[in-house]
Amino acid sequence: MLTGLSIRDVVLIEALDLRFEHGLGALTGETGAGKSILLDSLGLALGMRADSGLVRQGATQAVVTASFDLGGDHPALALLAENGLDGEPGEPLLIRRIVKADGGSRATVNDQPASATFLREIGARLVEIHGQHDDRGLLNARGHRALLDNFGRIDTAPVALAYRDWATAEARLQSAAAELETAARDREWLEHAVAELTALGAEDGEEESLAEERAGMQKGARLADDLTAVNAHIDGSAGGSAQLRQAARRLERMADEHPLLTEAIDALDRALIELGEAEDKLAAANDALAFDPARLDAVETRLFELRAIARKHRIDPPALPALAAELAERLARLDSGDAGIAKLEQAVKAARTAYEEAAATVGAQRELAAARLDAAVAGELAPLKLEAARFRTVVERLGETQWSASGRDRVEFEISTNPGAPFAPLVKIASGGELSRFILALKVALAEEGGAGTMIFDEIDRGVGGAVASAIGERLARLSRRAQLLVVTHSPQVAARADRHWLIAKAHDGLVTRTSVRALDPDERREEIARMLSGAEVTAEARAQATRLLTV
C-alpha cells in the first residue's frame, strides 16, 4: 500500500508531502491544475523515463520519494531479496528518484542504489496505474493466464510437477543416449582399459600401504652396516660385554683388599645390567629393521606398476579402484545400452502422458473459469455504459514447443466494442474512457485476485455522468474494500464515494505559478463536490446535492 509521496521541485510543485491510507481516495481540481504532474511524479518513483523537463524552473534537481507498507507475503519482498536489497515485513519500503536539470538521474531503494529497470519491475508489483495511455496491468496479455487461474482458483501445482518429471525423464534419456554414443565410439579403448585395470586389481589403500612398507625396508637397508658394526663392538669375545665381565671377575678376586674395590665391582655389575638392556634393544631394532631384498623388489615393482597406470589415466593411485569400477560400469551399460535406452524412452512416454493429462485437466478448468469470468464481466458492462460491448476470455492450445509448467494454454482477454465488430485485445480497440471502464469491470469481476496493493484510475469517468458515474463510484468503493484505490476524477458522484479527498489547485503570485495539493475536511469536501456539480458559481442547490451525494 502507498503510504506517502514526497515531491520536491517537479514542474509546478515546489514542495509537497502527502500521506495515504487504505480505502478510496479522490483527487479533484480544475482542468490544468496539475493532476498529471502528481501522477508523473509517482511514475518517476516507479521507473518512468527521467526527463529533465520535469525539473522545476530554477531548481537544480527534482526529487520524488514514495513510501510503501508491505505485508508479510507481499511479492515485492521476494524481488528485493533476489536483488540483494533490504526489505523486511513490517518495515516501510522507500523508493527515491532524483532527476537533475542536466538530464542525469539516479534512484535508491531503501537508501541502496537501484536501476530504473528495477524500479519498473518492483513498481509493477506495487502499483497499477490505469488510464488511456497505460499498457501494463490487465492490458498485458502475459498476465492473463495467471489472473484467470486466480479467478477460477485453479491449482496448477500438479501440472508443474508433471512438467518437471517429464523434463527430468527427457534429460536422463538424452544423457544416456549421448553417453551410449560416446561409449560406442570408445568401445575398443574401454575394453582394453577395463581388462588392464582388472588385471592390475588395485585395492583401496594399497598404494599407501606399499609405500610405507617400502620406506621401512629402505631404512633397514641403509642402517644394516652400522648396526652390524655396533653389534661387533658390544657382542663377541672381543666385544665390550666380554671385556667388562672379565674385568669384574678379576676385581672379585681383589675385593677384600680395599673397600673401594667392592664399590667398583658394584658399579661394574650395574653397567653389565645396562649393557644387557642395550643388547636387547639392539636385537629388537635388528628384528624391526630386518628386510627381505626379494620382498623389497616385489614391493617396488608393484608400486611402479600402480603409479604408471595411474599416470596413464591422469589420476592419483588411490583413485584406481574407483576408476576400475566406473569403467566397468560404463562397459556394462554399453553392453546393455539398447535395453536401458528403451526403458528410459518408456519413462519419457509415461511422464509426457501424465503431463498431458494434468494439463488437460487444468485446460478444462480454465475453460469453465473463462465462461464464468465472461458472464461476470458482462454483468458489469451495462451499468458502465458499455452495453453494446462484448467481452470474452480466449483459451487456446499452444504448440508443443510452448508448453510449460503452467500448462498448454494461452489466455487472453478480448473485447468487441460494437455489435458485429471483431474481437481484439483491449488496448488495441478501446478508447481512453472505454478502456478505463473495461478495466474497472474486469477488476470488479476478478475481485482483485492477483493485483497490486495500490490501484490508480486516471479519469476513469471521462465522458460519462449521471447513473454511469454513480455506477463507477459504487464499483470503485467496492474494490477499495480489498485494496487501496486512488482516482483522479471530474465526477462528483465518484468523488463523493471516496474515503478521503484531496484538492489539486494551481496559483500564480505574479512571478511564479505553483501547484498545491491539500486534504479536504468535511465542509471543504462538500464545497468542492458542489463546485464540481455547478461550475464556477456554487449554488445552494449544488451544495444540497453535494450533501445528498455524501450521505448515500
Rounded Cα distance between 215 and 159, Å, is 64
pLDDT band at 445 (very low <50, low <70, confident <90, very high): confident
Q: Which is more confidently placed, 281 or 240?
A: 281
Region 102-106 average pLDDT = 88
pLDDT value, residue 526: 93
Contacts of 80 (CB under 8 A, 6+ apart): 86, 87, 93, 109, 110, 122
Tell me the per-residue pLDDT of 227-267, one tens digit each, with 9 for 90 and over: 666 666 677 556 666 677 777 777 777 777 778 877 877 78
What percentage of the chain exceeds 90 in pLDDT?
Answer: 32
pLDDT band at 435 (very low <50, low <70, confident <90, very high): confident
pLDDT value, residue 135: 46
User: Which residue shows C-alpha cell 496493493?
Assistant: 453
pLDDT value, residue 403: 95
Residue 452 has pLDDT above 70, yes or no: no
pLDDT band at 418 (very low <50, low <70, confident <90, very high): confident
pLDDT band at 65 (very low <50, low <70, confident <90, very high): very high
Rounded Cα distance between 148 and 372, Å, is 10
pLDDT value, residue 448: 47
Residue 239, SS3?
A: coil
Beta-bridge partner residues of 515: 506
Q: Which is more confidently placed, 57 or 162?
A: 162
Region 456-484 average pLDDT = 83
Residue 161, SS3?
A: helix
Return contacts of 34-37, CB within 8 angstroms, 24+ apart.
34/504, 34/506, 34/515, 35/488, 35/504, 37/10, 37/11, 37/12, 37/13, 37/515
pLDDT band at 527 (very low <50, low <70, confident <90, very high): very high
Rounded Cα distance between 56 and 36, Å, is 15
Tell me the per-residue pLDDT of 291-303, one tens digit each, with 9 for 90 and over: 677 877 888 888 8
pLDDT value, residue 125: 83
pLDDT value, residue 358: 96
pLDDT value, residue 225: 60
Tell me the per-residue pLDDT of 301-344, one tens digit each, with 9 for 90 and over: 888 999 999 999 999 999 999 999 988 887 887 776 667 788 89
Q: Which is more confidently placed, 486 or 469?
A: 486
Strand intervals (E) in 269-350: none
Rounded Cα distance between 477 and 498, Å, is 7
311 half-sphere exposure, CB direction, 13 A CA radius = 6
Tell me the per-residue pLDDT of 166-186, one tens digit each, with 9 for 90 and over: 999 999 999 888 877 776 777
Domain boundaries, the chain: 156-367
Residue 529 has pLDDT above 80, yes or no: yes
Region 421-433 average pLDDT = 74
Tell me the per-residue pLDDT of 358-392, one tens digit each, with 9 for 90 and over: 999 999 999 999 999 999 999 888 888 888 889 99
pLDDT value, residue 86: 66
Residue 450 has pLDDT above 60, yes or no: no
Rg over alpha carbons for the chain, rounded to the nearest Å, is 46
pLDDT band at 133 (very low <50, low <70, confident <90, very high): very low
Rounded Cα distance between 184 and 71, Å, is 58
Region 59-73 average pLDDT = 88
